[in-house]
Each structure stands twice: as structure tokens, then as C-alpha cells.
Structure 1
Amino acid sequence: MTGHAPRTRWTLRRRIVAVLILLLAAFAGTMGVASTLALRGSLVGQLDTRLVSASERAAHAPTRADFPGAVGSDAQPTEPTPSASAARPFSLRGPGQDVGTLNLDVTDGVVNAGYLDDNGDFQRLTDAQATTLAATPADGVPRTVAIDGLGSYRVIGATSTAGTLVVTGLPTAAATATVAKYVAVEVGVAVVGLALAGLAGTVLVRRELRPLNRVAATATRVAELPLDRGEVLLAERVPDEDTDPGTEVGQVGAALNQMLGHIEQALAARHESETQVRQFVADASHELRTPLASIRGYAELVRRLPEPVPDTAVHAMARVESETKRMTGLVEDMLLLARLDAGRDLDRVEVDLSSLAIDAVADAHAAGPDHLWRLELDGQGSDGDESDQPDDDGPSSGAGSAPTLALGDEARLRQVLANLLTNARIHTPPGTTVVVSVRATDDVVTFRVQDDGPGIPEPLRSRLFQRFTRGDASRNRAAGSSTGLGLAIVHAVVTAHGGTIEVDGTPGQTSFTVSLPAA
């Protein structure tokens, strides 16, 4: 299935200006067409008035059968035959005739037709031109006729006092030229006017939408604030001049300010609630440490009494001691998270992560001998140079590693490594290979814990670092099982050090990559 390319949407400013120009263009076009038609109608009306006057003069002009140069014809009047040698009609001989005026009269089948050229000289019409004019009905109604070689004419046919057909015509070229010039001027003025209107509209719309830009800038600054956790100081507001309820933009600005006020109150309430919860967890964890230590001590004391103790009591005390240790670890983890959430300062010293990795892998090998543990330190050779099987003394590793120093709290970073290796040991089957690698650059020190176990289920990846997230969804926990706080502590400690942690949980491979600022 082929995806469609996203459409390019114009900004509101461009759309407003475009609509303005289109409306003005439509208005100018409508006015132009209407005014052009009105002008043409007026010019044609004036031409028709002159034409009627000329036709009346021609119809009442005297006629002479012996017109000089006239050639007779025996053709029937119903089918007049034009004569190429006909003399000038009498109606064209008088003064005051317009240039281009033509006249045709048919007397006894003889056609006399001609027109006045630009110099006022008489020019005879050709037979074809005369035939076109002779077809004009004598109804006294002006009409437009196209005459070959002469162009467009307004002609009118009438019956003379002698009962003959008289056709008079005036050229429309002058009226057409006037209309063409008017249209050209009109188009030029419209183009210039639309350009000026577009420029003025752009400036005006930009000025009027400037408050909307400020409102959008305020919303953008708020969107960039970290609102997900901690105390949030939401001081951003739309300026007062952009909250005028009398304008649409002002209404948006006022509504945004009101919304920001509600959000600020909600964030303050959330922060207060989180603070109370953290304080409660910290206080409860701190207060539980003493009674848990007492319970554990009394359990050990009972098991070590010199008097004979029933086996059931010994077993019960051992279980009490084991669960007390587990609960003590849970309380310590909760107390650590509460302190990290409260922003407690960590120790900042140079810590060699290579040394921490060596100790952590050694401890993991002792706790999980059925796993294959490998250590790759910066400056060592490739994986192929190392053995996959651990030696009797511990995991495989290289020698002569370069120092990989990070600035941080050694105890907390040691706990990060321990938690990641414990997580790999608990959630992978025996025989799984776990590789711990440490690399250093000028600015960053990176260590990675990678295994070839079953991977992380897809539903768990999005909430992997949330508290009390466990790979086993059951509420019944076996002794020594995960509390669901290990990775949450890892994430909190790494974040407190200004570092990042990334996870890749594809099937058949899981890796956690921690990057910390170099010392």
C-alpha cells in the first residue's frame, strides 16, 4: 500500500490574503465585464443613432435613372445584380459624411454601391461585398454584418421614397477600438490594484495576527517545560494586551491564560501529593528499619539458644529471618528511591567503572555459577580473544584495561551494576551468556550488560523502569524473587548522575546501555 504524501497547507496569513485577492479579483472582473458591456452598448447605441440618420438621408435622397457611369441590367428586382461600374450613389455625394460610410441602392435591378475611404474618396464595393449588403432586409432595424475586406459594419435597410432598396452602413472599428483600449486600461488597473491590495493585505494581516503569534509562542514555551515530574513553576502567561475579549485573538489568549492557571493549580496539587507520598515512604522506611533489625536479631538469637529448640521452631525462625532480610532490602530500596526523588545530593568523586565491573561480575559469577559471565574492558581485544567459559577463579576478562573514570557516587554506581547483573541472572535460564563491557571516550563512559536470553516481552518494554514492574505478573512471589524496584533504582541513580540508560529487548538478546559523564 502506497502512502500519500502529506498535503502542504498554507498558513492562515496566506489563506486570508489569497481569499482577499480572489474576492477583489472577482469583484473587479464582474465590474469590468459590466462596465465593458455598458460602454459597448453605449457606443453601439450612438453608432445606431448616426446610422438611422444616415439611412433617413439616403432614403429621401433624389434619384436619377441616368446616373453617370451606371450600367443597366435586365435582372429581376428580386435578384439584383451588382454592377462593378456603378457610379457614386447620390447619398454619398453630400458633405458631412463619415469616413467609412457605405451605401447601396437598387433601382430597377441596377446596384449602386460604394463607401468612403480614409481620405474621403469614393471606393466601389466588389460584387461579393455588394451581394452581402443587398441581402439586408428593408425593415429599418440596425444589425451587425461582417463584410469581407472591410470588417464589421452596422447596417440598416430601408425603402426610399421611390420604392427602391437603400442600405446604409457605418463601421464599428472605432467603437471596437475604444472598447479594446478600455479593456486594456481596465485590466492594467485591476492588476496593479490587486498587487497593491495583496501587499496591503499582507501587511495588515501580519500586523493583526501578530498577537496570535505571541499567543502561540507562549503555548510553545509551556510545551517545552518538563511537566512530567517534580515541582513545576508555570509562570508563562499571554501578555495582557493580547487578552482583549473584544477580539478573537484576545479571546484565545484569555482562554489560554485560564487554562494555564488551572494547569498550574493541578501541577501544584500533584507536587504536594507526591511530596507527601515521598515523605511518608521515607519516614515509613526509616521507621521500619529498627523493628526489622530487632526481629532479625531475635530470630538469630532464638536459633542460637543453648537449650534444645524444636526443629519446627528452628525452621520457623529461619523463615522469619529470611523474610526479614527480604523486607529489609525492600525497605532500603524504597528509602533510596525516596531520597533520590527528593533530590538528595550524591557524592561526586572519580570512580573507575572498570574496577566496579570486575567486582560486580565476580560477585555475579559467585551468585550464578550456572551462567556464563564475560567481561570486556576498554583497551582489550575482540570477543574472539576471550574465552566463553569462566575460569575456576571467576569470569573471563582481559588484562591491562585502560582506566574508565566517571564522576559520581561509588556506592550507588556499584548498586547499578549489581542490579543489572542480578536482573540478567534472575530473568534468564541457566547457560545464558552475560557480557559486561566498559568503554570510555573523551566525554562519556559507557558500560553495557548484554545477554542472549529470551528477551523482554513487548508489553513490559514501555514500563520497564517503573516501580514494582516485574517480569512475573503473578502476585505470589517466591523467596528471593524480584521486588520490582531494581531497574527503577538503576534508572533513578543514572538520571541523578546526569546519565542515560537505553534498553534493547529483542527476542534472543537483551542489552542495557548506561552512559555517564566522564570525569
Structure 2
Amino acid sequence: MPVAASARTRRPARWRDPAGWSLRTRIVTIMIALLAVLGLVVGGTAELYLYTSLHKTIDNELRDMSNRVRYPSGGKGPSPNKTTHFGNGKPPGGSLKDSVIMTVETDGSVTGGIVRFPASGSDDNKFDDLSDAAKTAMKDEVVPDGEAADVDLGGELSEYRVMAKTQSDGRIQYIGISLKNVNSTLLQVAAFTGCVIAGSLLIAGWGGALIVRRTLQPLDRVAATATRVSELKLDAGEVRLAQRVPEADTDPRTEVGQVGAALNRMLDHVGNALEARHASETQVRQFVADASHELRTPLAAIRGYAELSRRSRQVVPDEIAHMLTRVESEAKRMTALVEDLLLLARLDAGRPLAQDPVDLTMLAVDAISDAHAAGPGHYWQLDLPDEPVSVIGDGARLHQVLANLLANARTHTPEGSTVTVKVGSVPNAAVIQVIDDGPGIPPDLVARIFERFARGDSSRSRAAGSTGLGLSIVHAVVTSHRGKVGVQSQPGRTVFTVMLPVGPPPIVPIAEQQPQMLHPVA
């Protein structure tokens, strides 16, 4: 549940940050944004043009109506038969329904109002009174003999286009036409334009995503090639880097083709470097194997002559005897080093191991017995399961793995330390753990503890010499058995975990992740 919660909290942040978007998403988003801006510009321009055109039409109607109201007989001068000051209380001829005609007399009185047609169908028009707020709004917002202005008369009248003219006798005549139809038309056009723009963006987004997806397919193939290369094991052994970007995706005339061609050139260089590295490693392994093999004979001769000289019946001075003893001791140490190097060279060369049933529980019993004899100052414990744990492998080499781990614990912990060997099993793997309560391994050494000649002299006590190859042999042997080995260490507790497959397929968990997977020591 916490993982799901954290994922839910991270996802919105990722979508809010364009840096985490894919290239496909960015291109489609930018395209839609540009189309949206273009649509808004075109729609806004059309709406503004329509607004201006409709208002010009209204202004022309206002002028015509003003002329008809002032000169109802034909618009060319005052008519002797019609009044223009609405003394009879009725709108003049030529008035539009729901229009506003208001005259401010010279004495400040107001006549006129809203033009209404009677319900009976008579030709006679009538006025409805304007509110005081509407009269005040027209007086305040419309300049006489100036441009027409939009005035909100309030209530159900809403917005009007009003023009004011000063008559020859000093009266001011206000004439207005409702903008209800104009505003309705503008709103309908804006809504229709918005719907068209939204629909166009949806179609453009869908089509753009499809086009971008197809366009970026060569880039996907390049990425797939790089992914396959990244999954190859390149750190050791012979590597055949056969993965390449298809020829169709290496056209230098296109950006993706340039990337594909550059990746192919890089893979060629990397492949050549790996081949050179493998050839060099092969030469070094062959040299180590040959040198180790050739050194075994003279070392055996040195040890033999040293031992023979000590058994001579002639009296040997004490100083010479001590020197011969040291020669024999160092010869033994050098022989062990040569044997270790020869074993590592053979394992690196892929020398096949024996494939026999091996009882790990009996292997642990024998190894503990040997360790007890070699280090009587330590406390040696066994923690075995009720049933035997067996694997298929090389018994001699697996015994050497356990012996090296116990020797490592004996060498790098002080006397009186407790060393425990646990044997157990987990799904698909058999487990051996060697646990000690010594001072632990320095953190900077843990990452390279299984490298050759790795030592931690500064922090762990050393009762005897060490070649620094013991744990390297452990790693090499376990790896040759398709297993895994790991270590976790802190002051007072160091755990080496060996995991070996019990059968095909070799699905073995990571050794460092489960140091406490076995039952605890009683």
C-alpha cells in the first residue's frame, strides 16, 4: 500500500513536469498548443470582425431611424403634419419596436420611452416609460452629437446602442436600438467557433499522435537495439557484439538515421575493444596457467631438498636449520599461491567441473572438523536442517569454497570469536552461510571483497599470512556452479552467503538480499 500511495503522489508531479514527458508526447502537445493558439487567433479575429460589422450595421440603422424620427415625411426636412417632440405622447412614424426614443426638453423635462406595438394589431405605437436609472445612464454615457455608445439600461432591457443628437431648437434626442440580437449572434458564433476549434484539436491530436508514432518508429528500433546491447554481459569472457541498427534506419539524410549510424559505429568500436580485451585476458590467463604449472616442479624440488637437508644424519648448525625451515615454509606458502592461481586460471578458462550429487550437510560437518583442528582458539558451531541438502556439482571444489570461507573467518577474527556454519534451502536454491562475530569488514572493502588480492589489513586482525585469493576462488567456484555469493558485514556480525541452484533452470535469488533466510542459531 505505501508503494502504491507513493506512485500516486509521484505521477501527477511527473505529468506536471514536461521534462519527464516522452518525445512523442512533447511533439503532439506542442502541435496541439500551436493549433490551439492559431484557432484562438483566427476565432478571435473573426469574432472581432463580426462585432465591428454588426455594430456598424446598428449605427447605420440608428442614423436612419434618427432621420425618420426627425423627418417622418421622407427624411428631407421637418414635416408640417407630424410633431417631432412627441407632444401627443406617441412615437413618431418610422420607429422600430423595442427601440428607445427619449427627448430631453430645454426645460430639462424628459419625454418618450420604449417603443411598443399594441397587442390589438393597430398601427398606433405607444411608449412604455423608462426607469430613472435608464434615463440617467443615457444622459451620462452618451455624448450628444458624438459617436454611438453601448449603454446598459438595466432590468429586462439589458444593453442598447444609443446615439444622441441636438435638435435645432436645443432639445437633445436620444435614440437607441437593442443589442440583444447582436449579442446573441456573437455568442452563438463564439460557441460554434469554440466547438469547431475543440473538435479540430481532438482530430489533430489523434492524427498527430498516429503520424508521430509512425514517424518515430525508426527511433524505437534504434532504442530497441541499444536496449538489447545494454542487456548483454560485457564485463568478462568472450563477447560477440552482433547487435546492430538495421540498415534502413541508418540513412544519414535523416536525424534518426544519423543516430542509428552513430550507434552502429560506436558498437563497432566497442566490439573491437571487447575482442582486444578478451584476447589480452586470454593471454594473461594462459601465462598465469603456464607459469603456475611450470613453478610447481621447482617449488616441489625446493621443499624436497629443504626437508631432506633437515633429515640428514650430519649435524646442521642451528642457524642453517632455521634458514632451511624458513625456506620450506615459504616454499609451502608459494606452492599454495601457485595452486590458487592455477585453479583460478582453469576456472576462468571455463574448465568443466564434475557434476555429481554433493551432500552439503556432510560437507559442512567435514569443513567444521578441519577448521576446529586448524583454529582451536575459535568456537565453531553447526546449524543443520533435519533433512540433508544436496546439489549437483564438484564436491572437491565446493569443499574448498567452505574451507576458504572458514579460513577467512579464522584468519580475520581474534581468538575466542564464534563462527557458525548454517546449511538450508530456499525455493530453487541451497544455501550455505558462514557467520562470525568478529570486528567486521570495512565498508569500502565490501564492494571489492571478492576481487583478487583484495585485503583488509587495517581493520581485521591477522594471525597468519594470506594471499588475498581465497575469496576470489570462492566467487569463481560458486559462479562456475551457476550460483551466487554475497556478504553483509557490520561490527560484531559478518555473514557470507552462498546460494547454489538445486536443478535447472538456475533461478537463484540475490545472495546479499536475504542473509537471514535460514533459521536462527539456537
AA at the equivalent of 1:99: K
Give the one of 139, 142, 151 matched to 2:145: 139
Q: Partners of 1:446 and 1:163 in 2: how far apart?
A: 113
Distance 2:116 2:49 in 1: 29
**CA 339–69 in structure 1, closer or farther in 2 if over 3 Å, else same:** closer
Q: Distance in 2 between matches of 1:405 and 1:66?
A: 124
- CA drift of 1:441 comes to 5.7
TM-score, length-scaled by structure 1 = 0.84
Alignment of 1:319-334 (within 5 A): 319-334=326-341
Match of 1:493 in 2: 477
Is it true that 1:87 corresponds to 2:86 in the alignment? no
1:88 counterpart letter in structure 2: K
- Match for residue 462 of structure 1 among 447, 462, 467: 447
Unaligned runs of 5+ in 1: 72-85, 380-401
Deviations 1:95-128 (A, max 9, x none): xx54334434456757542444367752314153
1:100 matched to 2:107: no
Partner AA of 1:239 in structure 2? P
Amino acid at match of 1:12: L
**Aligned pair in 2 of structure 1 residues 267, 108: CA closer, same or farther (>3 Å)?**
closer
Q: How many angstroms apart in 2 are the aligned matches of 1:68 and 1:364?
A: 129
- Unaligned residue ranges in structure 2 (runs of 5+): 1-5, 15-19, 73-77, 504-522
Within 5 A, what are the aligned runs for 1:312-323?
A: 312-323=319-330
Letter paired with 2:98? G
Question: 1:104–1:134: 8 Å Cα contact kept in structure 2?
Answer: no
Give 1:57 deviation, angstroms: 3.2
| Residue-pair matches, total | 475
Q: Deviations over 1:111-153 (max 9, x none)?
A: 5424443677523141535666567554153222333443322
SS at match of 1:516: strand
Q: 2:152 is aligned with what amino acid?
A: A
2:159, 2:493 → 1: CA distance? 91
Match of 2:388? 403
Q: Deviations over 1:470-489 (max 9, x none)?
A: 23269xx9995111011110
- Please give the alpha-carbon distance, in whole angstroms, between the structure 2 residues aligned to 1:177 and 1:263: 71
The one-letter code of the counterpart of 1:21 is I
Is 1:36 the equivalent of 2:43? no
2:513 corresponds to:
none
Equivalent positions of 1:75-474 (< 5 A) are: 86-89=88-91, 92-94=92-94, 97-105=95-103, 109=107, 111-117=110-116, 122-126=125-129, 128=132, 137-139=143-145, 141-148=147-154, 149-160=156-167, 164-379=171-386, 402-440=387-425, 443-472=428-457
Per the alignment, residue 82 of structure 1 pairs with none
Correspondent of 1:26 among 27, 37, 56 = 37
**Partners in 2 of 1:461 and 1:481 — Cα distance?**
20
Distance 1:152 1:443 in 2: 84
CA 1:447 to 1:155, structure 2 compared with 1: closer, same or farther past 3 Å? closer
The superposition leaves residues 289-315 of structure 1 with CA deviations (integer Å, 9 ceiling, x where unpaired) of 111111122222222223333322222
Q: C-alpha distance in 1, partners of 2:393/2:316?
A: 49
Partner residue in 2 for 1:10: 21
Residues 291 and 209 of structure 1, relative CA distance in 2, 3 Å threshold: same
Q: Distance in 2 between matches of 1:450 and 1:68?
A: 116
User: Per-residue deviation at 1:12?
Assistant: 2.0
Aligned partners of 1:508, 1:329: CA distance in 2, in Å? 30
Aligned mates of 1:442, 1:169 — CA distance in 2:
91
Instruction: Answer yes or no: is 1:514 the counterpart of 2:498.
Output: yes
170-179 vs 482-491, which deviates more? 170-179
- Look up the equivalent residue of 2:89 and give its one-letter code: A
The structural deviation recorded for 1:67 is 6.0
After superposition, the Cα gap between the structure-2 partners of 1:304 and 1:34, relative to the gap in structure 1 and judged at 3 Å, is: same
Quote the offset at 1:504 in angstroms: 2.1
Distance 1:291 1:69 in 2: 140
Range with greater deviation from structure 2 (59-68 or 44-53): 59-68
Say if 2:59 is the partner of 1:48: yes
- In the alignment, the residues of structure 2 paired with residue 341 and residue 347 of structure 1 have an alpha-carbon distance, to the nearest angstrom, of 16
- CA drift of 1:232 comes to 1.0
2:467 to 466, 483, 497: 483
Q: Which residue of 2 aligns with 1:393?
A: none
Partner deviation per Cα, 1:486-511 (whole Å, 9 max, x = no partner): 11101111111111212122111122
CA distance in 1, matches of 2:164, 2:427: 105
Partner of 1:75: none
- Is the alpha carbon distance of 1:308 and 1:157 closer, same or farther for their aligned partners in structure 2, counting shifts above 3 Å? closer
**Once structures 1 and 2 are overlaid, which stretch shifts more, 203-212 or 342-351?**
203-212
Q: State the alpha-carbon separation in 2 of the partners of residues 234 and 69 from structure 1.
A: 102
User: What is the distance in 2 between the residues matched to 1:49 and 1:248?
Assistant: 60
Change beyond 3 A, Cα 1:161–1:240: same
C-alpha distance in 1, partners of 2:177/2:427? Answer: 97
Report the Cα distance in structure 2 between the residues aligned to 1:134 and 1:438, rounded to whole angstroms.
103
Query: What is the aligned partner in structure 1 of residue 68 from structure 2?
Result: 57
Instruction: Give the Cα separation in 2 of the matches to 1:308 and 1:372.
Output: 42
Q: What are the Cα deviations for residues 167-202 of structure 1, in whole angstroms up to 9, with x where unaligned? A: 333222222222122111111111111111111111
**For 1:46-67, what per-residue CA distance to the aligned partner results, in whole angstroms no more than 9, with x for missing partners?**
2112221222333345366996
Look up the match of 2:509.
none
Query: 1:23: how far off?
Result: 1.5
1:441-468 per-position Cα deviation (integer Å, ceiling 9, x unaligned): 6743222221211111222211111111
User: Quick one: distance in 1 between partners of 2:61 and 2:227?
Assistant: 74
